[in-house]
Structure 1
Amino acid sequence: MSADRHTPNTAPAATAEATELIRFEGVSKRFDGHTVLDALDISVYTGRHVTLIGPSGSGKTTILRLLMTLLKPDEGTIKLGGRYLTHEEKGGKLVPASDRYSREVRKNIGMVFQQFNLFPNMKVLRNITEAPVHVLGLDADAAEERARELLELVGLTAHLDKYPSQLSGGQQQRVAIARALAMRPQVLLLDEVTSALDPELVAGVLDLLRDIAHSMDITMLCVTHEMSFARDVSDCVMMFDAGRVVEFGPPERIFTAPEHERTREFLSAVL
């Protein structure tokens, strides 16, 4: 698939029941006159694990921030599960969405950030139960049961009564992963989740994410510079440059026989 085919989607060809979960249509984003995303058209289908690669500044993290409504597009629309995310329909017209509407649609998205973003004044268990109780309206006991299951998944059951400051960076990132999963999201966004970790802690977090990718029925959209991780967990890899997808396809082809010169240049620099 070459750069000329500028509408990538990640639907498996033989899986008719797969549905479009995320849709960017003509999405552009600029900062101080600089175009970060340029009329982007992409689709991500349910159950797909999609990894975005490319040089810094190519627009990858901006996609995740738009999905979290931390940013709004300058042009174009974004849909999640068939519903507009940053727009809503009123009187037969599309208008900018209210904060309340966007929050409701965004409940289906979980995100793990580079810098953990845990609540420093809350112990581990409450960090995980806070959003399910106050955003989803989950019963406190049910939220705690879910949190304990997730802490077991991420290997931190013994640390549930500690504050984030008492944990290592790798442990904090594991809590952040559990917190995102506690919302039972349809899609999990991962933004360079190992970039703030000491090198010896990276492998453990990546192994955990591999286990989640292979064992849980969840759509994943990941930005990473860890090419071996991208190769292991992805159904589709999208190569970004200057706010556009220059190439996309299954990881075995992207990493062994890329078609676009820009992809070859990038991979030769990072592999």
Structure 2
Amino acid sequence: MSPPYSCAPWSDALSVEISNVTKKFGGQTVLDGLDLKVKAGDHVTLIGPSGSGKTTILRMLMTLTEPDSGTIAVDGRQLFPASERERREVRRNIGMVFQQFNLFPHMTVLRNITEAPVTVLGQSREEAEERARELLDLVGLADKCDAKPARLSGGQQQRVAIARALAMRPRVLLLDEVTSALDPELVAGVLDVLRDVARSTDITLLCVTHEMNFARDISDEVLMFDAGRIVESGPPEKIFNEPEQERTREFLGAVL
């Protein structure tokens, strides 16, 4: 049995490549000629004010939003531009945990985690359930297999959502403000689970968060966004301790 966090080996050293991507909503430019490269296995955190384009990047990687121009590739395979069939193939290697938990309320916790591996990946029900139980143990919910989501706290539901994303063995895991919908006392438990994922996995992580201590702990690189552009990037110790750009200093001064 392979470890619950393991994924298929990478075919290339570059995980995500975004080249000259522009996106507008109405008259507002959300991404302005963005260039971004993420190495396989790196943990990259996107910080910056609301509306600066961070979540739009994650939505594009999930093919929920299309760029107006530019190219996006994952694991050396084109995501945009590409046919819908090609996008589906690439998207199978990408998982996302959203702000809202989006669990199926009529399914048990176990079924929420096993449904996609069975229907999308073609795993047997037995194989999918064995892996789901391993993942539930890892996120501290081994005793909740038969519970329905409504019987869980918000923090527990988000941990199920993390296990569900990992069950697909993604090469890239996207985290979009995963604690923003939680009560403050539940945030620490979810962040601890994600720290374990970051330490134990070879998955590439792209994380949008306002939890700066979490970003400092898990990141190989931090990207500061403003007005659809990356205004500064570097390792967390540089960004948080010695930022070069005034805009970065202003933002951190407001959130730390």
Q: How does 1:107-186 map to 2 (within 5 A)?
A: 107-186=92-171
2:193 aligns with 208
The reply to whether residue 198 of structure 1 matches residue 192 of structure 2 is: no
Secondary structure in structure 2 of the residue aligned to 1:84:
strand
Q: Secondary structure, in 3 states, of the residue corresponding to 1:85? A: strand
Q: How does 1:98-113 map to 2 (within 5 A)?
A: 98=84, 100-113=85-98
User: What's the CA shift string for 1:51-76, capped at 9, x where partnerless?
Assistant: 00000000000000000000000000
Superposed counterparts of 1:21-170, under 5 Å = 21-88=15-82, 97-98=83-84, 100-170=85-155
Secondary structure, in 3 states, of the residue corresponding to 1:47? coil
Offset of residue 226 of structure 1: 0.2
Structure 1 length normalisation: TM-score?
Answer: 0.89
Q: Distance in 1 between matches of 2:48 and 2:149?
A: 32
Structure 1 alignment gaps of length 5 or more: 1-16, 89-96
Q: How many residues align?
A: 246
Write the distance in 1 (CA, Å) between the matches of 2:104 and 2:39. Answer: 32
Question: Is the Cα contact below 8 Å between 2:12 and 2:75 reproduced in 1?
Answer: no
Name the CA distance, whole Å, in 2 between partners of 1:124 and 1:49.
28
Residue 86 of structure 1, CA deviation: 2.6
Identity %: 72
Query: Which position in structure 2 is the counterpart of 1:217?
Result: 202
Q: Which residue identity is paired with 1:46?
A: A
How many angstroms does 1:18 deviate by? 7.4
Aligned to 1:11: none
Q: 1:113: Cα distance to partner? A: 0.2
Q: Retained in 2: the 8 A contact 1:18–1:45? A: no
Give 1:184 deviation, angstroms: 0.3
**Root-mean-square deviation (CA), in Å?**
1.0
Q: Deviations over 1:95-146 (max 9, x none)?
A: xx22x32111100001000001111111100100011111111111111111
